[in-house]
Every structure is written in C-alpha cells, then in structure tokens.
C-alpha cells in the first residue's frame, strides 16, 4: 500500500453491512479496551451482531471509506431532534489495520458537510472518553461527562461534545434519508 492511498468515501449499501459490523466490532475491541472490561466489550460486540443494532444504523446517513475496494472505516449522522439545528455524529469506527491514515478525520469532515447541506449548523458527538482528544483536534468542545447506557446494558464513559452553534428554528427540519432509502444514491467522493 502506498504512503497516501486513494480513499473513496461513499454511502454504505446493504452489501457492505457485514463489513460494517466487522469494523465496528474490531474498533470497539481495539479502542475501548482501556475503558471497558472484557465482559463489557464482549457484550458490546455481541450487540453489534443483533438486528436492533442494524435498525439503529438504518436510521442514519452512513458513509464508508474504501481503499482498494475494501471498507476500512465508517461514519454516520442523524438529526439531533425534531426542532433542533444540531445533528449527531455517530459510528465513527476505523478498522485498526488502517489506523493512522486519517480515515476517521476524512469521514468526520464528509459527515459534517452532509449535515450542513441538510441545514444543520451544529454537530454533537457522544465520544468515549479515550477518543475525546481526536474530536478536540477537529474543533469539538466537551460540554459534559456522562455515561452512555447501550441497549445491550453496557455503560460506556463518554464526553458529550459539540462543534458549531445551534440556531433557533421555527419549523421542523426534515429527517435525514436513512440508509435504507439512500442506497445507490449520490456520487462517491474521492479524497487523496
């Protein structure tokens, strides 16, 4: 692989969901091992394999980063609320084999751009504490510490973060087209 591989950012389709699950499981094991016990990580990885997890993913605008036709990283967003100008960044996961190539940064940049084009002026993220410095380098600020109780019962220490300013809205912002409705739409973005 070259020093600066060609990265293609595009929507994730149904044919890549097994790869998405694999990347999320690898990322949870690799990047959360300092915050969680082995039992907690096992429960989280088991949750990734459930239908409920896929239903959560289907409610987002999900993008992937490919290198040589291999899905290497994922990122997605969803509206923050019915009458809010904030969008929530979720699912930023990088296959540990591709760490250090800037894939997470590239995905966050593209996800933020999509959310801005959809009318959102502020991004929020619920970052595992160990990942907070990554988001801070991208301009996010911590707003509060807390714990995210996952649907599978695992409590993950998080830092609630945000970037941008929320505007007051007078009407409901349209929902993001979820993965199930955007399959095959949109041209891929090539980044070098």
Phi, psi of 146 (to 5 degrees): -170, -160
Residue 93 included in any domain: yes
Residue 128's nearest CA partner among 96, 156, 87, 162 is: 156
Sign, Cα dihedral of 154, 33, 86, 173: negative
The domain that holds 164 is classified in CATH as 3.40.630.30
Number of structural domains in the chain: 1
Is residue 24's pLDDT more than 80? yes
Residue 174 included in any domain: no
Residue 127 included in any domain: yes
DSSP category for residue 4 = S
Residue 191 included in any domain: no
Return the percent helix, strand and coil in the chain, to nearest 5.
35, 30, 35
Residue 18 included in any domain: yes
What the block records as the tokens of 24 is: 């999320």
Please give the model's pTM, rounded to 2 decimal places.
0.81
For 135-149, write each residue's pLDDT tens digit. Answer: 999 999 999 999 888
Residue 186 included in any domain: no
Residue 24 included in any domain: yes
Q: What's the domain range around 74? A: 7-168
């Amino acid at each position: 692989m070259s020093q600066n591989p060609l990265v293609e950012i595009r929507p994730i389709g149904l044919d890549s969901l097994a790869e998405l699950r694999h990347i999320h499981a690898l990322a949870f094991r690799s990047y959360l091992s300092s915050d969680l016990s082995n039992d907690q990580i096992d429960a989280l990885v088991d949750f990734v394999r459930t239908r409920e997890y896929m239903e959560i993913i289907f409610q987002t605008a999900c993008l992937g980063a490919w290198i040589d036709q291999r899905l290497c990283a994922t990122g997605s967003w969803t509206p923050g609320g019915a009458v809010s100008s904030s969008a929530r960044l979720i699912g930023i996961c990088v296959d540990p084999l591709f760490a250090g190539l800037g894939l997470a940064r590239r995905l966050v940049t593209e996800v933020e751009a999509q959310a801005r084009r959809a009318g959102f002026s502020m991004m929020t993220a619920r970052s595992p504490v160990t990942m907070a410095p990554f988001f801070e380098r991208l301009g996010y600020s911590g707003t509060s510490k807390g714990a995210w109780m996952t649907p599978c019962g695992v409590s993950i220490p998080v830092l609630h973060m945000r970037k941008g300013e929320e505007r007051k809205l007078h009407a409901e912002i349209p929902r993001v087209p979820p993965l199930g409705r955007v399959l095959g739409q949109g041209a891929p973005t090539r980044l070098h």
